Amino acid sequence: MGNVQLHKRYFQVYDAPRSWSTKFTRTAITRQDQPNAVVVVYEGDEAQAVDIPHGNAKQQRALARPFVRTQPHVVKNIQTQASTADGPRDVYRNMV
């Protein structure tokens, strides 16, 4: 097998504004010779991992709502229209 170099990335749970915790962690391990193969290790109390708003929210009411991902069929529809439309304006006008 030889001398294979491993690369580890460590992730911690974000439990409050500007507060990181090690109560629940994720470690991603990759091999240098196979960068697309990943082993993911979760350790700790999974109840500590909760949905929180993403960091771009500026208003307090936006911070109270959890982030909702765009549904895959909407993304697919946008991609399809983007390949035939003249620009972003046309895609937007067709979607709204």
pTM, entire model: 0.49
Mean pLDDT to the nearest integer, 61-70:
70
Query: pLDDT band at 53, cuts 50/70/90?
Result: low
Three-state secondary structure string covering 27-77:
EEEEECCEEEEEEEEEEECHHHCCCCCCCCCCCHHHHHCCCCCCCHHHHHH
Instruction: Quote the pLDDT of residue 20.
Output: 84
Comparing C-alpha atoms, which of 36, 9, 39, 5 is closest to residue 25? 9
With residue 84 as reference, give the H or E element that holds it.
helix 72-84
pLDDT tens-place string over residues 2-52: 788 999 999 888 776 678 888 889 999 999 888 889 999 999 988 887 776
Interval 52-75 mean pLDDT: 72
pLDDT for 31 equals: 92
Alpha carbon distance 79, 57 (integer Å): 26
* Predicted confidence (pLDDT) at residue 62 exceeds the cutoff of 60: no
